[in-house]
Structure 1
Amino acid sequence: MIPLSRLPHRLTFRPYLGDGNRGKVLGEPVKDVPARVEMRVKLVRDQQGKEVVSSATIYFQPILAPALGDEVTLPDGNARQVIARHDNAGRRRTELITVHV
């Protein structure tokens, strides 16, 4: 598992619960989650396989990481939806979660 010393940022995310009458329904914020944020534009594939533009790549420990559709608040205060997620496995377990927003 990636050491906390490699995750210098602290982020907040809100779980996606589904769609309601007024759009997306988000859960209570999960705060102070250790992460590493790299702000760079990148072309990634979403869950349907379509190419989409990501504005940031974020690395998390597998213990507490957002899922597809969750809303992540970046260090600059902007909230973005998780559009792609990759579980990076080691020999016996998941070592790192990478999400694109």
Structure 2
Amino acid sequence: MARSYDKDFKEEALKLSDEIGAKKAADQLGIPYNTVTTWRGKRKKYGDQAFVGSGHKQLPASEQERRMLELEKEVKELQRANDILQEALGFFAARRKK
């Protein structure tokens, strides 16, 4: 499971990475190197707005609604796929018993 870091931690980690380099900062902080480089990229792209609240960029309400609909659609598709797989598993298990 991915670990969540707060805004202050990310900002301090980036300051450290600016001083000693991303690799050394990641090693010193015990976090993956690619996490530091990702944060550096977000800081470069979004500046002061890179890390809001929990660290995730806040989407406008309409964007949140659109994303919510996308996720709901994805959940339904995954549920359908799961149902198909469960049926197939039952089918093959029944054939194996014969």
The TM-score range, normalised by the shorter chain, is under 0.3
The higher relative CO (CA closer than 8 Å, separation ≥ 6) is in: 1
TM-score by length of 2: 0.22
Structure with greater strand share of residues: 1
Larger radius of gyration: 2
Structure with greater helix share of residues: 2
